[in-house]
Chains A and B, each alone.
Chain A
Amino acid sequence: MSMPSEALPLPKRSSAASVSPPDVTAATTEPAWIKWSLIGVALTFLTLFLFIPLAIVFIEAFKKGWGVYLAAITDPDALSAIKLTLIAAGISVPMNLVFGIAAAWCIAKFEFRGKNLLLTLIDLPFSVSPVISGLIFVLVFGLQGWFGEWLRDHDLKVIFAVPGIVLATVFITFPFVARELIPLMQAQGTEQEEAARVLGANGWQLFRRITLPNVKWALLYGVILCNARAMGEFGAVSVVSGHIRGQTNTMPLHIEILYNEYQFAASFAVASLLAGLALVTLVLKYVVEQRVKAQKRAVEGQEET
């Protein structure tokens, strides 16, 4: 059954398809007309629900020409929205990066009680509606909330101000890095780190020289996803922001305001920036995914030999 792949210098798991002779047998494939109609159905569905919506963002953005486009994205309100979005992502991504590494380290490298519960709790923000994610911070820091009076007495603002926007963004993007790291680090096991430990490496050397190189692509992938979500978050930020133009407006909120004011070209112009970011994210994701797949194959190959 199995090929003598152990004899090869580079252990590389070959899939069944490349080992067996080309399977052109009619018994395990569909007739051409079924194949092409299925492809047709799939592409029609994707065109209606994915490709055209993406295309129309750029078409509407440039409908009135470059002048209107540039004016829309260099408008002072738009620039301050871009700045606030960068600030929110710039704070929340590093925070969740540190958390993701810490969580992945204790979950993937150690055995302890309550691990499954911890994993489920880390996933919680994924299943909470963005609107509710905003609401809970209003309940804690709003004027009627737990710390409302204290914050008012000390002249601090969280809700309808930048800290609230950052907090909501941190909550929304909480699991991204951890979820990417944990499965990969669990698959990689602890042998390499243990060997380094025996050879006298301290904790920091261990992490920097063994663990980090092993997970760098998954880490980058998690950061990319986290960033995309942080910059595009709408519902949660909408609840806590108060929509103060030029002060607490992020890019998605600015899009909404322009759209409601019937400035469609300007609205789509700002939207096209975020759509561009989404496309860059998808390209990076594709590249990183290839690397992670190659790495996972390498890990599995090591386990087999």
Chain B
Amino acid sequence: MIFTRTLLKRHSVLPGFDLALGFTLLYLCFIVLIPLSAAFLKTATMTWPAFWEAVSSPRVLASYRLTFGASLGAALINSFFGLIVCWVLVRYDFPGKRVVDALVDLPFALPTAVAGIALTALYAQNGWIGQFLPFKVSFTPVGVFVALTFIGLPFVVRTLQPVLEDLQKEVEEAAATLGASRWQTFTMVIFPVLTPALMTGFALAFARALGEYGSVIFIAGNMPMISEITPLLIITKLEQYDYNGATAIAVVMLVAAFIMLLTVNGLQAWTRAKQGR
């Protein structure tokens, strides 16, 4: 019987494998892989010095600093507050909890352009929130940070939530029996279990923020060297018909995105291992 198995697939009585896999691969190639390869093939036609100049001019470097810096800051803030929000949603009861829980996903569902104009209106100097702040938010790099915080908000909460829900109450009881204070139980028992999921959420929020465009361009002011994010710079180059320049920067961002994708995959495997699944 072993010889009848194909090299690729284990035997099964269920039908439709060839058709389903064939269609999946074909669709994946035409919609995703071939178009994505266009970016890499395009840069392959550039000479190395030209590529290097396109991806490391001062204006591009400034946009990397802003994009990566603001993404990092937003992901950190989201990790801190996301942990608190998640804790409150899993452990406590308060009026309106279900509505709050459902609304946490809003940044996933709300189009980025809508988020962008709403945040700009709020954080402008005469806006509802902006008027109370001693510093400018809209049309500054701080605005970029605010927009990226908004769009990354659900990631940490949603990654942590199932892990915190699965946490056995007995473990905490055992810690308390052994004389641990509540704070010690949290830092030495609960937090280590949450760490992989927290890092996964952080990485997801950071990865999402790196590529974000819609919500940022309204609030950033988009001044070159100061508040211009890398995705916007790609569009600017494209509008100047500098296809090589745009694609070269895009390839740098794609490589960063792929590294984040692998990181997230690794962290998720770690989360599962830690939970003993």
| A27: chain B residues within 8 A (beta carbon) | 172-173, 176-177, 182
A271 CB to nearest B CB, Å: 4
B114 adjacent to chain A (CB < 8 Å): yes
For chain B, the bracket of interface size reads: 35 or more
Q: In the bound complex, do residue A110 and residue B12 qualify as a contact, i.e. CB atoms below 8 Å apart? A: yes
B34: nearest chain-A partner, CB-CB: A140
Q: In the bound complex, do residue A135 and residue B176 qualify as a contact, i.e. CB atoms below 8 Å apart? A: no
A118 CB to nearest B CB, Å: 7
B17 adjacent to chain A (CB < 8 Å): yes
Interface of A is mostly: helix
Q: In the bound complex, do residue A54 and residue B261 qualify as a contact, i.e. CB atoms below 8 Å apart? A: no
Q: In the bound complex, do residue A52 and residue B100 qualify as a contact, i.e. CB atoms below 8 Å apart? A: no
A23: nearest chain-B partner, CB-CB: B169
Give Cα A77 to B113, complex, Å: 18
Q: In the bound complex, do residue A131 and residue B211 qualify as a contact, i.e. CB atoms below 8 Å apart? A: yes
Candidates B36, B92, B113, B149; contact of A35 at CB < 8 Å: B92
Q: In the bound complex, do residue B17 and residue A110 qualify as a contact, i.e. CB atoms below 8 Å apart? A: yes
Give Cα A41 to B270, complex, Å: 30
B 89-144 contacts with A by CB, 8 A = 89, 91-92, 94, 98, 100, 102-115, 117-119, 121-122, 128-129
Q: In the bound complex, do residue A140 and residue B15 qualify as a contact, i.e. CB atoms below 8 Å apart? A: no
Q: In the bound complex, do residue B38 and residue A197 qualify as a contact, i.e. CB atoms below 8 Å apart? A: no
B247 adjacent to chain A (CB < 8 Å): yes
A88 adjacent to chain B (CB < 8 Å): no
A233 adjacent to chain B (CB < 8 Å): yes
Interface 0/1 of B21-32, CB less than 8 Å to A: 101110110011
Give Cα A239 to B172, complex, Å: 52
Q: In the bound complex, do residue A235 and residue B112 qualify as a contact, i.e. CB atoms below 8 Å apart? A: yes
| A17: chain B residues within 8 A (beta carbon) | 169
Candidates A46, A197, A234; contact of B213 at CB < 8 Å: A234
B57 adjacent to chain A (CB < 8 Å): no
B150: nearest chain-A partner, CB-CB: A49
Q: Given A50-B106, A56-B128 in contact, is the A99-B23 Cβ separation under 8 Å? A: yes
Q: Which of A66-74, A149-157, A273-281 contacts B (4 or more CB under 8 A)?
A: A273-281
Give Cα A171 to B243, complex, Å: 21
Q: In the bound complex, do residue A135 and residue B153 qualify as a contact, i.e. CB atoms below 8 Å apart? A: no
Residue of B91, B113, B119, B250 with most partner-chain A CB within 10 A: B113
B residues adjacent to A (C-beta < 8 A):
7-10, 12-17, 19-21, 23-25, 27-28, 31-36, 38-39, 42, 81, 84-85, 87-89, 91-92, 94, 98, 100, 102-115, 117-119, 121-122, 128-129, 146, 149-150, 153, 168-170, 172-173, 176-177, 182, 185, 207, 210-214, 218, 231-232, 234-235, 238, 243, 246-247, 250, 253-254, 257-258, 260-261, 265
A-B interface, 8 closest residue pairs, ranked by CB to CB distance from nearest = A232-B111, A129-B211, A27-B176, A234-B214, A235-B213, A278-B109, A131-B231, A112-B9
